[in-house]
Amino acid sequence: MSDGGPEVVGLELPRDTAGFTRRECPGCQRPFKMRPGPFEARAVLRKLQAFFSFENAHEGEEGLPLWRCPYCGQRAEADAFLTPAQQTHLESVARAWANHVRYEQLAHVNRTLSVNPRPTFVAVAPEALPGPMDPEADELLRTLPMLCCGEDLKVLWDWDQPLYCPYCGSRHGGLSGRQQVQLRFIQE
Ligand SMILES: [Zn+2]
Ligand SMILES: [Zn+2]
């Protein structure tokens, strides 16, 4: 089946050494990191659909989860939180992939037209698919457990205001867990 067809690489977004993938709020543009989930594959599928229509396109209508920016609280579909570099990368992979599929279709028509002495077109081999993105750097973000959803989140180290859980939207106080416990002792 795959006689020199394209190797699909680079569809996974890079992770840092702790396994986190970078996100960026479409509103305030602040960075944070989450562990990748099934959303990634659906975001890629959606990019691909922009370049050529799938017969099974309805599978992509499942929709993407709504996430909330941990800092400013803006809600948006998950693919809006891809960083500009990730968006560009996924689009280039999708475009190259679509070109390969079209090439395979044309080449197939050419092969089956062998009875035709003068084929009216030549399928031009497309460029190779882009390689994976650069590895994700480890930078100064702190890891916070989102107890509401059982997921970890990496946020700006010096952020001392309330945070929203990106998954469920719960608002968490601006104090560390230890400070909250101390505060409760004081109040009781
Ligand atoms: Zn934001
Ligand atoms: Zn949550």
The mean pLDDT of 44-59, rounded to a whole number, is 63
Q: How far is residue 37's CA from residue 151's CA, in Å, rounded to a whole number? A: 11
Ligand 2 geometric centre to CA of 153 (Å): 10
Contact predicate 75/170, CB 8 Å: no
124 is a domain residue: yes
The mean pLDDT of 71-83, rounded to a whole number, is 92
The ligand minimizing its distance to the Cα of 75 is 1
Neighbours of 37 (CB within 10 A): 13
Ligand 1 geometric centre to CA of 143 (Å): 18
Q: How far is residue 12's CA from residue 15's CA, in Å, rounded to a whole number? A: 9
Decide the pairing of beta strands 163-164 and 151-156.
unpaired
12 is a domain residue: no
Q: How far is residue 145's CA from residue 175's CA, in Å, rounded to a whole number? A: 13
181 is a domain residue: yes
11 is a domain residue: no
Ligand 1 geometric centre to CA of 25 (Å): 5
Ligand 1 geometric centre to CA of 158 (Å): 15
The mean pLDDT of 110-114, rounded to a whole number, is 68
Ligand 1 geometric centre to CA of 165 (Å): 12
Q: How far is residue 161's CA from residue 14's CA, in Å, rounded to a whole number? A: 28
Q: Tell me the average pLDDT of the chain.
A: 78
Q: Could you tell me the pLDDT band of residue 114, with boundaries at 50, 70 and 90?
A: low
Ligand 1 geometric centre to CA of 1 (Å): 46
pLDDT of 81 reads 92
Ligand 2 geometric centre to CA of 169 (Å): 6
The ligand minimizing its distance to the Cα of 81 is 1
145 is a domain residue: yes
Q: Hunting for tokens 């280039």 — which residue is that?
A: 92
Q: Which residue has the higher pLDDT, 63 or 97?
A: 97
Is the confidence at residue 4, as pLDDT, over 70? no
Is the confidence at residue 8, as pLDDT, over 80? no
Contact predicate 151/143, CB 8 Å: no
8 is a domain residue: no
Ligand 2 geometric centre to CA of 51 (Å): 34
Is the confidence at residue 80, as pLDDT, over 60? yes
Q: How many domains does the chain fold into?
A: 1
The ligand minimizing its distance to the Cα of 161 is 1
Residue 130 tokens read as 């882009």
133 is a domain residue: yes
15 is a domain residue: no
- When computed from its CA atoms, the radius of gyration of the chain, rounded to whole angstroms, is 22
Q: What is the dihedral of CA 122, 124, 125, 126, to 10 degrees?
A: -150
**Domain enclosing residue 32, as ranges:** 21-187
